[in-house]
Structure 1
């Protein structure tokens, strides 16, 4: 696969609308100079370990270091953008602010834009090397400053969107007044002191469980410490189910149980292939969902070879740990395994369930999956569940949907008609616990089905979501996403469009219909695509 080209860097650096989501900004001017790529529209700084959050924090710390060097008081503002940050200074300090910003951008060139809060659209950023960038700064109410960054392979480019804005607050009597709206207040006490505020207050892409070295508390004013109605302060975990189908011990267990296969699709080798997607899906959380508290990987006594165990924030949960009836083990049925996820010790009430072929595609806030009051969002498919009872010609997927429909109709008098899209499933632990209690026979039958069977429920991808909805804990939502079946002839072109666009909140690379002949060619394409889309390793990799 191709990487972001020099031409793309020239076209993308400093252009908010064209900047791929996933690239970062430069080091603070006080530090040693980073490697740069001088491009047509300005300098791009090459930085290892690049993430959107690191770009955002680097821009903020670079700018506040400049203000501190000049002795300019400042405080963080709860701005309306989740990508960048905002700091406020008093209008009377404008000359000192402009002077130190001019010197800092002279030493480490970046990008600058004058923001008019009343303008219909934001001004485009201009390279600080260009005299036009400084034309209107003396009367600006808000300035946005950034240093564009890319990873060493030049796959990601993070630009002005992740910059830090300086707002000039006007003194009026005993108050400082904001030049534009923010999420909390128009005014703070002019002579008030700073307090530390959780990083969560300043971006919805951060939670109280994001590591402090990635998202430190910021000096702000007490007026910004309020809990707003649209804040999500509860923890959200992520759960994966994963299997290494190439492991001999696992293959032996599967071979011993294989006589129970009920449907040809159930025994498809593609269902059990590990293409290393899990490593990259975890990377996608590190890059684009740093608000996740804990990641749990559910396995059949397996550990991915790349995993660095013991790093806080990720834990292996084995089938033996979560299955209430261990006599049914081993199982090779994802429906059975999913029926036990809510038994993971320590799992949060709100969690996202991922198949290992699901990925975050750009920075996504928890609000995409849960409302601030904790209601889960589910994403109905445009497809429809086939009518009628289960027949022997149904696929196991359709059979499970029909089984779901029959039980829920009997219990609630409502008919479900749509399966779910292949988007991470936002689940409520309590809803799964209650569903298991309400339907103990069907739940136990699913848990005890070693391979997919026509009597299964689909616990996470449909049943628990509709059960939560019918008990007032879930509601339908929508999300930009892509579902890409790998067994398509134009796979290379589709992957390239996905890589070039980077405009989907999530995507799924599904291989349910791949044949052994397909797999080698697909793998070469996938390796290049995944390395390019997610070049920054997570802290959980060796």
Structure 2
């Protein structure tokens, strides 16, 4: 997300950018929150606008507003273009209006704290930014085919900084009067020419960036009719998110669990760390809010529990209790995630397409829904490099390996194919109809999993493995790729790994998992993990109660 990363720092420690900001405020919007702060980015000092509820898509919108407002004020015709990068807005202007547009933008640079750079032709110095308030900065741009105005925008902690990746690009389209066309100086995602005398139209934002949701209202943008069309890879169906969550420290939950006699066949399955609540859900929701704004509804499946910090007033987040979705009420209570996952398709109101997340999964940077789904409705899946041993189950198998072997038996019987890989711990793209079909196709094994109160070597693992292979072998899924990170908490170099993740921020998704830690290790891990989470996801989501005072 931080596409212009702050200088690497110890996880949880104040950044040099924050130190500089405290010592050198540039402007003020009130007694408590400076409007402008100085930040250290890529080794240089920049002036950043501070926003309390900053998100990547908000930064994109603010930059579009600034540029389009300046062009409107000076009577310059323009249109939003569907650019190649979903983060970077692009505005087209006729070459005929070049001088008027540059004059308007130079005036904007004089009153706004922002930076200007040449985009096309590509300059010899990559990313060279110049203060847009300095007149000489514009003298080299009067022949450029495309330029960029960049605002640095930061949250109040200065941990989230949006820079050039969200800057607004202005490109100059050349009139071709013989053909009656305006021709683009470079490729875009739609077309290289529009009608010379075309009438401007208002276009929904999701036509211009895949980060916007077609299910949510956003102010329309001035564009051309040529860009107001669905492409073959555009996704216009709703996508929801489902979490399963438990607070293992809840005394009532512990009492329910103690009252149920179950057997665990593997030490990992009985580990108390599987139920430890480190508020991962809060930070996972922050990552969702920041990096997947196209999600429609969020469902948290739980056993009559509610995080103390959770705010349901946003209108698109819902708590779902186990007894609302289980086909057999006498299978409850259950403490088996596989059993709970077998019933997710029964959530009332759930979209056909949804992402299933454990609360230790996070979106690391802005992602389009095409990361997980195809526009024809098919899902993607992400196989791990680990191989599941051939042969029957043994006592040496981990619970996951044993369950995948159960899946393997069903896939071999149904399709004659032998699966040997599990999945990466990334958000799982799922379809309700396929989950229901699996229940009908394998009723005995499916019901046995639903009735298994604790993880068992006889369970199926449906969301992690079976859905993906079944969907693939029935022509409804394809392998996908993500830049994925996995951090096991019980490692000696945990702090170094998290420091690397915070500094580079190059993971699409990542998982922070634990199954083996002792209580003493858990206490130490929290001193490292909590500051990392606050640094990586500093902006509260709409799903958190705000503490006033």
Show the counterpart of 1:272: 275
Cα 1:218–1:521, aligned 2, differ >3 Å: closer, same or farther?
Answer: same
- Which stretch of the first structure deviates more once superposed, 521-530 or 84-93? 84-93
Whether contact under 8 Å (2:141, 2:147) holds in the other structure is yes
Alignment of 1:139-288 (within 5 A): 139-173=143-177, 174-210=180-216, 212=217, 215-288=218-291
Q: 1:495 is matched with which residue: 493, 498, 514?
A: 498
Q: Distance in 2 between matches of 1:8 and 1:476?
A: 45
- Give the one of 392, 417, 421 matched to 2:420: 417
Aligned to 2:406: 403
Does residue 443 of structure 1 match 2:465? no
Task: Give the direction of change, closer, same or farther, for the CA distance of 1:517–1:390 in structure 2 (3 Å limit).
Answer: same
- Listed one character per residue, the Cα deviations across residues 131-158 of structure 1 (whole Å, up to 9, x for unaligned) are 6632321111111111111111111111
Residue 16 of structure 2 corresponds to 5
Output one character per residue of 1:269-313: Cα deviation in whole Å (capped at 9) or x when no partner. Answer: 111111100010011011011111111111111111111113222
Q: Distance in 2 between matches of 1:328 and 1:117?
A: 66
Match 2:429 to one of 422, 426, 441: 426
1:520 has 2:526 as partner? no
Is 1:60 the counterpart of 2:35? The answer is: no
Could you say what secondary structure the match of 1:382 adopts? strand
Q: How many residues align?
A: 520
Q: What are the Cα deviations for residues 215-250 of structure 1, in whole angstroms up to 9, with x where unaligned?
A: 432121111112111211122111110001111111
What corresponds to 2:374 in structure 1?
371
Choose 352-361 or 67-76, whichever is displaced more: 67-76
Check conservation: 2:106, 2:133, Cα contact below 8 A. no
Residue 123 of structure 1 deviates from its aligned partner by 5.0
CA drift of 1:166 comes to 1.2
Matching residue of 2:7? none
The TM-score with structure 2 as length reference comes to: 0.91
Distance in structure 2 (CA, Å) of the matches to 1:308 and 1:7 = 29
The residue number in structure 2 matching 1:102 is 106
Pairing partner for 1:84 from 82, 88, 101: 88
Which residue of structure 1 aligns with residue 512 of structure 2? Answer: 509
Pairing 1:113–2:117 present: yes
* CA contact 1:145–1:163 (8 Å) conserved in 2: yes
User: Is 2:85 the partner of 1:74?
Assistant: no
Residues 175/292 of structure 1: CA separation in 2 closer, same or farther (3 Å cut): same
Find 1:303's aligned residue among 301, 306, 311: 306
Please give the secondary structure, in 1, of the residue aligned with 2:142.
helix
- State the shift of 1:38 in Å: 6.5
Measure, in 1, the Cα distance between the counterparts of 2:123 and 2:135: 22
Deviations 1:377-435 (A, max 9, x none): 11111111122111233222111011010111011100001111111111122211111
| Structure 1 runs, 4 residues or longer, greater than 6 Å off | 7-10, 118-121
**1:149 counterpart SS class:** strand
* Equivalent-residue separation in structure 1 for 2:152 and 2:478 (angstroms): 39
Distance 1:53 1:151 in 2: 14
Paired with 1:164 and 1:209, the residues of 2 have a C-alpha distance of 25
> In the superposition, relative to structure 1, how do residues 41 and 523 fare at CA in structure 2: closer, same or farther (>3 Å)?
closer
Q: Deviations over 1:350-382 (max 9, x none)?
A: 111111000000111111111222221111111
The equivalent residue for 2:5 is: none
- Please say if 1:37 is aligned against 2:38: yes
> What displacement does 1:129 show?
4.7
Contact 1:483 1:507 in 2 (8 A): yes
Residue matched to 2:477: 474
Query: Is the CA contact (8 Å cut-off) linking 1:5 and 1:154 kept in structure 2?
Result: no
Distance 1:3 1:505, change over 3 A: farther
Structure 1's 8 and 117: CA in aligned 2 closer, same or farther, altered over 3 A?
A: farther
Distance 1:85 1:430 in 2: 36
Partner of 1:485: 488
User: Where does residue 16 of structure 1 map in the other structure?
Assistant: none
Which residue number corresponds to residue 24 of structure 2?
A: none
| Cα deviation code 1:181-230 (max 9, x no counterpart) | 222222222332222212111111122124x3xx4321211111121112
Alignment partners' CA distance in 2, 1:8 and 1:385: 50
Tell me the C-alpha RMSD between the 2 structures.
2.2
Specify the alignment match of 1:347 in structure 2.
Answer: 350
SS at match of 1:152: coil
The 2-side partners of 1:277 and 1:531 are apart by 11
Contact 1:37-1:46 at 8 Å conserved across structures: no
- CA change 1:463–1:38 in 2 (3 A) is closer
Give CA-to-partner distance per residue, 1:85-128, whole Å, 9 cap, x none: 11122222222211221121112231111121577996533332
Query: Helix, strand or coil for the counterpart of 2:243?
Result: strand
